[in-house]
Amino acid sequence: MHTFVAAGLYGVASAPELELLRDLRNGDIQHAERSTKAVVLGVDSESTAITALSSGADVILPSSASESLIVAGVRNADRRLRIGRRQTSQLGDIAVDREFRQVTVAGKSFTTTNREFDLLAAVTSENRRVWSRNELAMGCGDH
């Protein structure tokens, strides 16, 4: 698993880094793992903390954070990700992890669009069900 550290000039998290994190979490960055741990440095106000967490940060730290605190934050994020329940469904070789919005086929990770992911999540959630085209077109966002 990779770690994404967002810290702008002088250690303060800025809009470009948080936008990049938002894109990562939304799956808008090709070949990037959505489950990447995200540590945001330079969170010195409540509004920055809210923005960082809303963007997908796993850990937020002040700009004055020591190297030891940063390492502890990364380890904590890793531990939380391992302990957390995974919301996965499977159909044959296709596995869909709804929590991290990841798709694997025969163990190989694939990048999908949001629509493709929603369709795969729907059909793997109830894999013994026959889906009509209309159901898939209208209701796959609920799964």
Edge-to-edge strand ranges of the sheet holding 102-105 = 88-91, 94-97, 102-105, 108-110
CATH among 1.10.287.3510, 1.10.10.10, 3.40.50.300, 1.10.1040.10 for 88-142: 1.10.10.10
How is the chain split into domains, by residue range?
Answer: 3-83, 88-142
Domain 3-83, CATH number (from 3.40.50.2300, 3.40.50.720, 3.50.80.10, 3.30.460.80): 3.40.50.2300
With a threshold of 0.75, does the pTM exceed it? no
Q: What is the pLDDT of residues 81-114, one digit of tens each?
A: 665 545 788 888 888 988 778 899 988 888 888 8
Relative to beta strand 102-105, strand 94-97 is antiparallel
pLDDT at position 134, please?
Answer: 82
